[in-house]
Amino acid sequence: MNIGITCYPTVGGSGAVATELGKQLARRGHRIHFVSHRIPFRLDDTNGNVSFHEVDVSTYSLFEYPPHDLALAAKMAEVSREYKLDLLHVHYAIPFAISGFIARHMQGARAPKLITTLHGTDVTLVGQDRSFIDITRFGIEQSDGVTAVSEFLKRMTVDEFEVKKPIETIYNFIDLSVYGRSRTGHHLERTAYARPDQRILLHVSNFRPVKRVVDVVRIFERVSREVPSVLLMVGEGPERASAQTLAKRLGLQDRVRFLGRQDRIEELTALADVFLLPSELESFGLSALEAMACEVPVVGSDAGGMPEVVKHAETGFLLPVGDIEGMAARTIEILKDEEHRRALGQAARCRAAALFSADRIVSQYERYYERVLG
């Protein structure tokens, strides 16, 4: 198949999944064409079956705001015609489903099919802005196929937008050859972040308010009273300053390290003893899955799609949103019992391999493509 993929190129779960999906499909012999205004952050190889097509957005003075969505639609149509694409697969309803809809109608009978994957905030945040509700629903219903990354997100989309379009749940996935390398041999790397007697807690996110990064610091403050430990905070975003200020106020600035954006997150994840994700809402929880693949137990909130990823009491612990004391207690419990921590980590790896491996999920996408193409 010849497949066009459009996603946000910036750091985030939807862009990461879209890019990894394209790379996996290319390895299976499909021709993949990424169309975006910037090369996606995980697209580190455009050789072989993968190509990148940059959207040129006009800065003509007539436009108060550059017409990105129209420029994208024009580029998607151009690439579709030139390379005879079978499918346009867009990751995010707004604006990509609308740009894809326009691109498809620019081509008439020879247009490729349009598939939209819902990742979360396109439904839970952007789509619920009253000014975007109707156009989000329109983009979903005008797609030839629609997928969601969790059953939770599928149900929410149907309930909130009252869409009649069938939605297929296809989970996010993990490349087990990248995440989940043996944890042995990492002791030398750990010394860059922690003393031999200290445990490592890890949080990875885009530091938006929904991630509750201040809760992460508060959880760590309680854990550090009981267990010698450090906290690694990976990512950038609007809540970073608040978390740093709180860490300093609590006297934790020497034990909480803000590492910013990291390109090879799998290496840091493999060093962690516990992964913290106390989010207000997770449509799936890709960073939790990455931790599980590295045999790292997850302690987080039971909101949204997280219970579909993390099995409570088997691969980690899920507690109500805002239950800082409970999450801290569970983290301390794990860190004080190495045998239990290892068992949770091994179960987490097994669950990741059984339900969320790239081989399993990419095959589901291939079958779904074939159904949409008829």
Give the predicted TM-score (pTM) of the model: 0.93
Best CA proximity match to 352, nearest among 169, 168, 153, 171: 171
Q: Domains of the chain by range and CATH?
A: 2-172+357-373 (3.40.50.2000), 187-355 (3.40.50.2000)
pLDDT values of the chain reduced to their tens digit, one per residue, 374 residues: 999 999 988 767 788 899 999 999 999 999 999 999 888 877 876 668 999 999 987 766 555 666 788 999 999 999 999 999 999 999 998 889 999 999 999 998 889 999 999 998 777 666 556 778 888 999 999 999 999 999 999 999 998 888 989 999 999 999 998 887 555 444 558 889 999 999 999 999 999 999 999 999 999 999 999 999 999 999 999 999 999 999 999 999 999 999 998 878 888 999 999 999 999 999 999 999 999 999 999 999 999 999 999 999 999 999 999 999 999 999 999 999 999 999 999 999 999 999 999 999 999 999 999 999 99
